[in-house]
Every structure is written in C-alpha cells, then in structure tokens.
Structure 1
Amino acid sequence: MFAQHIMGLSGLVAATLFIFGLKRMSSPATALSGIVVAGIGMVVAVAASFLTLADLPDAVRPHLAVNLALAALALVLGGGWAWWRGRKVGVTAMPQMVALYNGMGGGAAAAVAAVALSAGGAESAVILAVTVAGALIGSISLTGSVIAWAKLDGKLDKPWRFGTQRIVNGLLFLATVLLGIGIIAFFETPALPVLAVLFFAGALAFGVMMTLPIGGADMPVVISLYNAFTGLAVGLEGYALQNPALMIAGMVVGSAGTLLTLLMAKAMNRSLANVLFSNFGDGAASAGGAEVHGQMKSSEASDAAIGMRYAASVIIIPGYGLAVAQAQQKLYEFVKLLQAAGVDVKFAIHPVAGRMPGHMNVLLAEAGVPYDIIFDMEDINDAFASTDVALVIGANDVVNPAARTDKSSPIYGMPILNADQAHQVYVVKRGQGKGYSGVENLLFYGENCSMVYGDAQAVLTQMVQAVKDIGG
C-alpha cells in the first residue's frame, strides 16, 4: 500500500516536471533548462516504477533478481548509448537522431502492449481495446520513424511508389485493424498468439508502407506526425497500466506533436492528407511550370561581402545547405563583423526550413547567435521591402516567388519569405540545382539577385576575409 502511495505521488511530481519542462522548451532562451527539467521528471518516473516490485505476487518473486538485472542492464545500455550518440551527433544529423529516438518511443509503447497481451487476464474489454490501439499506433510509429531516419540519412534516396500503392496500404491497414478486433474477441482462446503475431506484423509493415512513398521535402511534417503517434501510444498504454506519469507524458507529447504537425502543414499551405498521399516532390508533378525570364547572374564572394558591409540592413535566410556545410560558426563570425560596422543584421526563419521543425533555430543556437535577432517568417516578412540586402544560404523552395504566381507549381500557395522584395539579393548555393519540389526558383533569375556559387563554408570564409581586408 505504501508503494502505491509513493507511485501516485511520484507520478504527480513527474507530470508537473514534464509540463513545466515543455513550457520552457517553447522558447529558445529557456529550452535547455526545459529539457533538463523534463529529464529529471523522467528519472523520477523510472525510479518510482521500481517500487512496484514490493507489490509483486509471490509466484513471480523467484524471478525478481533476474528481472532487476535485466532492467538495470537495459537502463545502462540505453542511457549510455544515448549519451554517447547525443554528444557525438552533428547538427546535420540531428533530424535523423530525432526520428530514430522518436521511433524508439513508439517501439517501447508497442513492446509494453505486447507484454500485457502475452500476460493475459485483461481487466476489461475497454482496457484490452486501449492496449491494442496503443500497440497499433506504437508499431506504426516505430517502423515509420525508422524509414524517416533512413530517408534523412540518405540510405533511401528516393520515394518508393507503385501504381496501386494506396489501395494496398488501405487493405493492409484494414486487415491489421481486423486482426486487432480479433485479439479482443478471442483473447481467452488458443488463437490469441497467432492473431497477435499477425497483428504486430501488419502494424509494423504498414508503418513502412505508409512512409516509403513520402518525399524528403515532407520529412519535417512526417517527423512531427510520428512524434504525435508516439505520444498517443504512450498515453494509451499508460491508461491500460493505470500509470498517471505515462498517461500525462503521452498526452502532452501527443498534443504537442499534433499541433506541430498542423502548423507544419499550414506553413506549406497543404493539408495533412496532401502531405501523406499526394506524392509531393515527384518529378512528374513539376513537369510544367511558369516560363522563366531573365538569366542567373553570378557574383564573387568578396563583392557580395563588401556590398553587405556598406549596407544599412541585411536579412539572412538560412537553409539546409548551411547545415550541410557546417558553416554556422563562420556565418556568425561574418555577422559580428557586419554588426561592428554598424549594419543592422537579422535572421529570417521559415517554419519548414531544414529537415525537422526548428532545425535552423538549433543550428543558429549552436553557433551562439543571439535569439533577439532571429525572427519567424510572420514577424519579419514585411521588413524585406525596406531591407538593403537579403542573403540566402542553402535555401530554395522557401524563397521561391513561384509559390505566389505559378498556379501549376506544386508549391503554389505555400507562404514564402519575401527575399525577392529586398533591394539586393545574394544567394549562396553549390550549383544551379532545384529544390525538393523540382521547381525552378524564379528568385535566382531576378534583376536584383546575384548567385554566389560554392560551398557555404568556403564562401563565408572568403566573405569574412573580404570584410577584414577593408577594416570591417
């Protein structure tokens, strides 16, 4: 009885820390402390779970030592590996790590459900149904997140699609749901093991099939969606186990992931169904497009740097190319030189820039860029028209004016950063390639735009040197 009281109290403490930590994560300035607070909450929840051992039935007590050893081993291996990988991972690989860790959360929820189903003796049909639902969602999140990780890591270069894919996926999902219903209906029969194996196989396979056709451009939305799935699965399994900490943590993560998914979809002016089923980024989708007028003009890095050195205001738009080049430190060095020369420098962040939600914010935070010069799209878009120079580094579709004018474009209607409205635009880019959408970027052909070709690290190094050479 004492253990139950401690478990209840620890659940309340852990839930409070989760919510408070999430609140602090809403601001870049307090995000780090928020993660620490939420981590302490998780430590409390895990530690308190060992108190349930005091109430174990006598029949299972002979196995207590083995179970304790296995639990301790799992904590040491999992915690040690996560610590090592977290310290080692680069910012460019952060989206892959987030996708993989999110999948592990869904897999853990599915594993808890599998153990509960194998143990038998469900308290009620409602608890059993909740357990099965958590197993379904957690399994989909596991394999879907693994495929997202493989796409982001370059192990799966292209979407995998075939003609009747939606029908096949629909039938697979329907069959898996029916198997789940069968588990509930035949729970106390010898058919349960076979139904459970087929059910988990179907759920895991559907996670793979659901994610394979989705293009890389939609990975930020997919990661958010599977984050919501994992939270929901954890919350459902928490309800089945009557564990308040799991329920609250799952609900918080699930609701946050759902809101973030909707915000990401809104930022691209697309519905979630369009993201999942439209084959966005397919070459056929962008075969047309508006006629391109003008031609690209190139500029030397030193000339662009001098132009910004003598400008009154500069807005910098970072994209995934900046992360690939690992040039964020050099960029901030350049920014400090401009600021020392009296230039007003700001950063403009598009909601879907990079490979995961907030990717560019994390990148700039790692370089030490102050939060007060980083602005979201809706807060800075009107300022471009009065800005002397817009510097675009490794971004493409999020600054493409075709989103405003070309109704045949797959990105038509997507809110973009108004970089083309600046008096002068410099675009740092490796070459003349297109973005994820496969659409020519009309910005690059504008009269006020000059291309600075090269790796962002090398280009920014030249820019820094050019400003230093003129006493910047």
Structure 2
Amino acid sequence: MIAQHFVSLSGLFAAALFIFGLKRMASPVTALSGIMTAGAGMIVAVIASFLVLFELDGTVRSHLTTNLGLAIAALLAGGGWAWWRGARVEMTAMPQMVALYNGMGGGAAAAIAAVELSGGRASGTLLLAVTIIGALIGSISLTGSFIAWAKLDSRIKKPWRFSGQRLVNGLIFLATLLVGLGVILLYGSPADTVLAVLFFVGALAFGVLMTLPIGGADMPVVISLYNAFTGLAVGLEGFALQNPALMIAGMVVGSAGTLLTLLMAKAMNRSLANVLFSNFGDTTASGGAEVHGQMKSADAADAAVNMRYASSVIIIPGYGLAVAQAQQKLYEFVKILLAAGVEVKFAIHPVAGRMPGHMNVLLAEAGVPYDIIFDMDDINADFPNTDVALVIGANDVVNPAARTDKSSPIYGMPILDADKAHQVYVVKRGQGKGYSGVENLLFFEDNCSMVYGDAQAVLSQMVQSVKDLAAAA
C-alpha cells in the first residue's frame, strides 16, 4: 500500500524537481545544483516505475517479473555507459554527446509507442493518435540527432543535397502521415502490423533526409530543435501512458527547447524555416562584398605585451579555443592581466561554439569567474571604449559584413562589435573562412592584426612573454 501511494505522488514530486532544476540551470552560478536537482527527480521517477510492478498487497505482478530483470539490466548498462563516457568526454566532443542523448530520448519515446502499438495497449482514437504523433516526432529526433552527431564529429563533412530534395522529403513525410492514419483506422487488424513497420521506417528515414542538407553552421540550432522534439515526444507518450512525470517533464523540455531554438534563430537574424531549408552553413557558399586592404600578422609576444599595458581587454572565445583545449592556458593569461590591474571581460555570442552555451561551459571548466563573463547584449556597448579585443577561434560572430554587406549570407545577424575596439588581435590557425563561407571583413581592418597558430601554443607564448616581462622588471 505504501508503494502504491509513493507511485501516485512520485510523478508530481519528480516533475517539481525537474522544473526547479531547470530554473537553477538558467544561471551558470547555480547550474550544477540544477543538474543535480533534476537528476534527483529522474531517480525518483525511475524508482516509481519499478514500484509499479507491485500489487496493492505488496506482491509482484507475475506477468512482469521477466521484464523486471530486463529493466534492471538495461538500467545498469545504460547508466554505467553514460557515467563512463560522461566522465571522459572532451569539451570539443560535448556537442556530439548532447546530440546523441537528444536522439536517445526521442528513440525511447518512439520505442514506448512501438510497444504500445504492438501490445494492443492503446485504446481509443485519441490515445492512438497521440501515440502515433509521439512516435513520429521521437523517430525524427532519433535519426536526425544521429546525423547531427555525425556532422559535428566530422563523420559527414558536407551537406548532402540533390535536385528536388524538398519535394522528395515532403512526399515522404506526407506518406508517413497517411500510413500513420492507416494504423489508427486499422488498429488491431493483421494489416496494422505491416503499416506500423512502414510508418516507423518512413519516420526514421525522414529524420535522416531532413538533417542531411543542413550545413554545419546551423547544428547548434538543430540540436536545440531536436531537444524540443524529444521533449514533445516524451510528453505525448506520457499522455498515452497516463504518466504525469513524463507528461510534465516532456512539456517542460519541449517548451524550453522550442524557446531556445527560436532565440538562437533570432540571434542569427533568420527564421527557423530558413535554418531548415536554406543552404546556409555550406562551407562552399560564396558571395560578399569586395575586400579592401590586407591581413596583417603580429607576434604573440607583442600582442601579449600590448594587452599587459592596456587598461581594458575583452576576450571573445570561439570553437577554435575548444578545439585547441586552451581554456586553462587562457585563464592563466587572464589571471596575469587581472593581477596587473587590467580590466578583463569575456564576451559570449548566443551561437558561439557548436551547441547552446558551449563557450560558457568551456570557461566554467577552466574556472573563469562568472562575473566577468557577459552576453552579447550586455557588453557590445563597451567595445568602443576598450583598448584591446582578443578574438580566439571565432569568425562569423565578429564579422562586420553582417552589419554592412547586404549581399552577405550573414547580413542582419547580430554580432559582437569587436571591430570597434581600439586594437583587435585574432588568434587563428590559418586564413580560412567561417562556417558561412564568406570572408571576414574584420581581418582586413586597419586596427586588426592576426596572430597565427594553434590557440594553445599562442597562449602559452603570451603567458611566457608577460612572465618574462615581469621578471625583467
């Protein structure tokens, strides 16, 4: 009897922990405790799902004892693998891991739907329709997230496009919807099984075809979108199972993911439809205004000395910093500047890196204080009064073409105003273009100098240069 009461209350308690944890994740200062709180909610939900196996008198339901063993084995295998991989994943691979976990959530929702359909548990047109819709969205999220992972991990290096692709994708999606309608109408008949298989094949295929043509620059938005898909699928399957924890958690994740997706699209001054159906992000893209001037190179030591004697420095981290795993060395350099009385701030663009919040996580790993990290809207006004802007591995998010060149594919995208600083140093491995495929006009400005090299090596030289300067003094 106690177990039954616990099951009844656990859904609401777990949901409350999910919501409170998500609220705590809104700030870097409380994000860790938020993750722990949400994790506690998941533990409550898992325990409750096992207690469902018990009858009111405490005996185990005999027809579920076999599944109990499988469930425990799956929990141990999945939890053990996730713990092992999570502890070892590199920061550069964090977006890939997030994409995979998004997909796993959608796949779990689709698997629940498959069990409901094959086991004859769904009853009534409404529950059948909800189950089918959840299965569709979950399947798309599963395979779409796998393609996003492959793109982020450079397993798929270029978008895959062909003539009439949108028409083909639309026909496959429409056919999948019609087959799903057939499953609802013929549920329980022999034809239902065949249609269900075709439905899942179509849904999984559409997730692949939908994601393949999207360029790498849009993967942060895509990851966020599939996160919303997963939440929606989980919420729908929770409704089908009459599970309040799944319903509330799914709705929270779905709404948060949707809001984040729209905010990220807005940060690039583009619609979600443009993200999904345009060729933006293809590194073979061309266009842009004629470039005037030439790039000027600078030595790492000279740049370091200039920053050491500056009054203010704003640092703009990008994905190149993560690739070089140079965040620790960067913070070592920052601490030297702070000790010398230099005002140092970090400027974060909403779509910097390969996933939402990537740069914030990167800096938090290095121990950078939260109070010197600022979002784009909060710091852009400071650049005109800043002595030095240091750009590390960022490209499109500091390209002035977004403000001035109407022919540029990034025109209208809000950027960090690094070019308005008195002096700009850009740490970059070479003269390559960003994900948008257009030339960065900042690199040709009179106040900009390029410091070529791997970020780890360049920052090591900078640290050593200011240390040698202090020793000589």
What range describes the TM-score normalised by the shorter chain of this pair? over 0.9
Partner of 1:403: 402
Partner of 2:153: 153
- Equivalent residue runs for 1:31-42 within 5 Å: 31-42=31-42
Partner of 1:329: 328
Partner of 1:257: 257
Q: CA deviation at 1:123?
A: 2.7
Aligned to 2:93, what secondary structure does the other structure show? helix
Partner of 2:359: 360
Partner of 1:108: 108
Report the Cα distance in structure 2 between the residues aligned to 1:37 and 1:298, rounded to whole angstroms.
49
Contact 2:285 / 2:438 at 8 angstroms: preserved in 1? no
* Partner amino acid, structure 1, of 2:17: L
List per-residue Cα deviations over 1:29-87 (Å, max 9, x = no partner). 1000100000000000010111211249xxx9544332111111000000000000000
Partner of 2:291: 292
Partner of 1:225: 225
Q: CA deviation at 1:2?
A: 5.7
Contact 1:103 / 1:143 at 8 angstroms: preserved in 2? yes
Contact 1:144 / 1:226 at 8 angstroms: preserved in 2? yes
- Equivalent residue runs for 1:332-351 within 5 Å: 332-351=331-350
Q: CA deviation at 1:172?
A: 0.4
Partner of 2:200: 200
* Partner amino acid, structure 2, of 1:74: A
Partner of 1:89: 89
Partner of 2:450: 451
Q: Does 1:211 align with 2:211?
A: yes
Q: CA deviation at 1:282?
A: 3.1
Q: CA deviation at 1:281?
A: 2.6
* Partner amino acid, structure 2, of 1:290: A
Q: CA deviation at 1:100?
A: 0.2
Partner of 1:46: 46
Q: CA deviation at 1:121?
A: 4.3
Question: Cα RMSD between the aligned structures?
Answer: 1.3
Partner of 1:428: 427
Aligned to 2:347, what secondary structure does the other structure show? strand
Q: CA deviation at 1:253?
A: 0.3
Report the Cα distance in structure 2 between the residues aligned to 1:211 and 1:254, rounded to whole angstroms.
19
Change (3 A) 1:121 1:463: closer
Q: CA deviation at 1:6?
A: 2.2
* Partner amino acid, structure 2, of 1:429: K
Change (3 A) 1:283 1:87: closer
Change (3 A) 1:355 1:284: closer
Report the Cα distance in structure 2 between the residues aligned to 1:282 and 1:157, rounded to whole angstroms.
10
Partner of 1:267: 267
Contact 2:216 / 2:282 at 8 angstroms: preserved in 1? no
Contact 1:289 / 1:409 at 8 angstroms: preserved in 2? yes
* Partner amino acid, structure 2, of 1:410: P
Q: CA deviation at 1:8?
A: 1.9
* Partner amino acid, structure 1, of 2:359: M
Aligned to 1:407, what secondary structure does the other structure show? coil
Partner of 2:469: 470
Contact 2:283 / 2:435 at 8 angstroms: preserved in 1? no
Change (3 A) 1:32 1:284: closer
Aligned residues: 468
Partner of 1:163: 163
Aligned to 1:298, what secondary structure does the other structure show? coil
Contact 1:314 / 1:389 at 8 angstroms: preserved in 2? yes
Report the Cα distance in structure 1 between the residues aligned to 2:226 and 2:390, rounded to whole angstroms.
34
Partner of 1:77: 77
Report the Cα distance in structure 1 between the residues aligned to 2:410 and 2:39, rounded to whole angstroms.
39
Partner of 1:246: 246
| TM norm structure 2 | 0.97
Partner of 1:13: 13
Report the Cα distance in structure 1 between the residues aligned to 2:417 and 2:133, rounded to whole angstroms.
44
Report the Cα distance in structure 1 between the residues aligned to 2:146 and 2:122, rounded to whole angstroms.
31
Report the Cα distance in structure 2 between the residues aligned to 1:123 and 1:368, rounded to whole angstroms.
53
Partner of 1:414: 413
Q: CA deviation at 1:122?
A: 2.5
* Partner amino acid, structure 1, of 2:261: T
Mind listing any 5+ residue stretches in structure 1 that lack a counterpart?
none
- Equivalent residue runs for 1:21-36 within 5 Å: 21-36=21-36
List per-residue Cα deviations over 1:148-195 (Å, max 9, x = no partner). 000001100010000111000000000001111111100021111000
Report the Cα distance in structure 2 between the residues aligned to 1:180 and 1:65, rounded to whole angstroms.
32
Contact 1:8 / 1:244 at 8 angstroms: preserved in 2? no
Report the Cα distance in structure 2 between the residues aligned to 1:64 and 1:282, rounded to whole angstroms.
51
* Partner amino acid, structure 2, of 1:279: N
Report the Cα distance in structure 2 between the residues aligned to 1:113 and 1:29, rounded to whole angstroms.
38
Report the Cα distance in structure 1 between the residues aligned to 2:64 and 2:388, rounded to whole angstroms.
67
Aligned to 2:315, what secondary structure does the other structure show? strand
| TM norm structure 1 | 0.97
Aligned to 1:339, what secondary structure does the other structure show? helix
* Partner amino acid, structure 1, of 2:268: M
Report the Cα distance in structure 1 between the residues aligned to 2:467 and 2:403, rounded to whole angstroms.
39
Report the Cα distance in structure 2 between the residues aligned to 1:206 and 1:123, rounded to whole angstroms.
27
Change (3 A) 1:374 1:51: same
* Partner amino acid, structure 1, of 2:271: S
Contact 1:173 / 1:203 at 8 angstroms: preserved in 2? yes
Report the Cα distance in structure 2 between the residues aligned to 1:240 and 1:3, rounded to whole angstroms.
23
List per-residue Cα deviations over 1:331-373 (Å, max 9, x = no partner). 0000000001100000000000000000000000000000000
Report the Cα distance in structure 1 between the residues aligned to 2:174 and 2:52, rounded to whole angstroms.
38
Report the Cα distance in structure 2 between the residues aligned to 1:4 and 1:243, rounded to whole angstroms.
14
List per-residue Cα deviations over 1:120-149 (Å, max 9, x = no partner). 142311011000000000000000000000
Query: Percent identity of the aligned residues?
Result: 81
Report the Cα distance in structure 2 between the residues aligned to 1:414 and 1:117, rounded to whole angstroms.
45
Aligned to 1:395, what secondary structure does the other structure show? coil
List per-residue Cα deviations over 1:170-222 (Å, max 9, x = no partner). 00000001111111100021111000000000000000000000000000000
Report the Cα distance in structure 2 between the residues aligned to 1:315 and 1:64, rounded to whole angstroms.
60
Q: Does 1:181 align with 2:186?
A: no
Contact 2:158 / 2:282 at 8 angstroms: preserved in 1? no
